[in-house]
Amino acid sequence: MNHSSSSNTASADKTVSPIAIKVIMIDLDGTLLDTAEDLALSANLMLKDLGMPEQSTATIRSYIGKGIQKLVKRTLTGQLDAEPDAALFGKALPIYEQHYANNLSVNTRPYPGVVDGIQALQQAGYRLACITNKAEAFTIPLLQATGLFEKFEIVLSGDSLPKKKPDPMPLIHICKHFDAQPHEVLLIGDSLNDAIAAKAAGCHVFCVPYGYNEGRDVYELDCDAIVDTLLDASKLVKRVA
């Protein structure tokens, strides 16, 4: 495991004191749950319905990160930031949503260390929140299906507030909810959205290397530590009252 208090996480290999934390916010796609197979399955069912060619799971995995609408736009255009034809998008989105609702947890499982890590964090007395860019209609049933819903005191989805990550709005909302200062709050995530949102909110951020990060190397991210698992993350923090 590499960890550091600077932005240069890739070369960091020094021991740091545990960060004093009260609240831990955890990202969903690519951090808690490996959702890529079911997101890709649903995207390919949509493409089939539209008479368009299927795409590899690896390609669709690189489209995950900025919510369902963006995932559909990227799947239709094959590009990260292009706008599809408005009529095609209007037709595709409800088809995608229906397929994903039907296939939410076919292959979706918690990553290794998630269940143990959450248990360790709960036992240590941290207040736990989940912050995802996934739409609430999918977030809640998915957390319930994987047995994680009860672990969190609050869950914020991509459409819970006017803005989602990388905007700091959901993180600031969580800080206020728990009456915590941003420096007493840690976000554990897998992508640039998480790193940018946490820095903008003034919170600490750890990243896991096994997630999605829109196809880019997690070691490029400006985060306080790269942690192999949530269980490893629990060893780098200490609880403040």
Q: Would you say 28 or 188 has its CB closer to ligand PGA?
A: 28
The minimum distance between CB 29 and ligand PGA, in angstroms, equals 4
The minimum distance between CB 133 and ligand PGA, in angstroms, equals 4
- Per-residue interface string for the shown chain with ligand PGA, residues 147-166, x marking contact by CB under 6 A: ------------------x-
The reply, when asked if residue 217 is annotated as ligand binding, is: no
Q: How far is CA 121 from CA 20, 55, 86, 132, 202, in A?
A: 13, 38, 45, 19, 21
Active site residue 27: yes
User: Considering only residues 4, 9, 30, 234, which one is a binding residue for Mg ion as defined by CB under 5 A?
Assistant: 30
**Contacts (CB under 6 A) with ligand PGA, residues 184-223:** none
Q: How far is CA 200 from CA 63, 69, 86, 186, in A?
A: 23, 24, 32, 13
28 contacts ligand PGA (rule: CB under 6 A): yes
Write down the catalytic residue from 13, 27, 81, 167. 27
User: Considering only residues 4, 133, 213, 229, which one is a binding residue for ligand PGA as defined by CB under 6 A?
Assistant: 133
User: Considering only residues 29, 97, 214, 224, which one is a binding residue for Mg ion as defined by CB under 5 A?
Assistant: 29
Contact 5, 224 (CB under 8 A): yes
Taking 3-state DSSP, the helix, strand and coil percentages for the chain, each rounded to the nearest 5, stand at: 40, 15, 45
108 contacts ligand PGA (rule: CB under 6 A): no
Q: Which of 24, 23, 18, 5 has the alpha carbon at shortest distance from 241?
A: 23
**Strands, DSSP E only, in 67-184?**
109-110, 127-131, 154-156
Alpha-carbon distance of 192 to 175, in angstroms, equals: 20
Q: How far is CA 241 from CA 23, 65, 125, 174, 180, in A?
A: 10, 33, 9, 17, 10
The reply, when asked if residue 27 is annotated as ligand binding, is: yes
User: Considering only residues 21, 30, 186, 201, which one is a binding residue for ligand PGA as defined by CB under 6 A?
Assistant: 30
In the complex, the residues that contact Mg ion under the rule CB under 5 A are 27, 29-30, 190-191
Catalytic residues: 27
In the complex, the residues that contact ligand PGA under the rule CB under 6 A are 27-30, 64-67, 71, 132-134, 165
Residue positions forming the annotated binding site for Mg(2+): 27, 29, 190
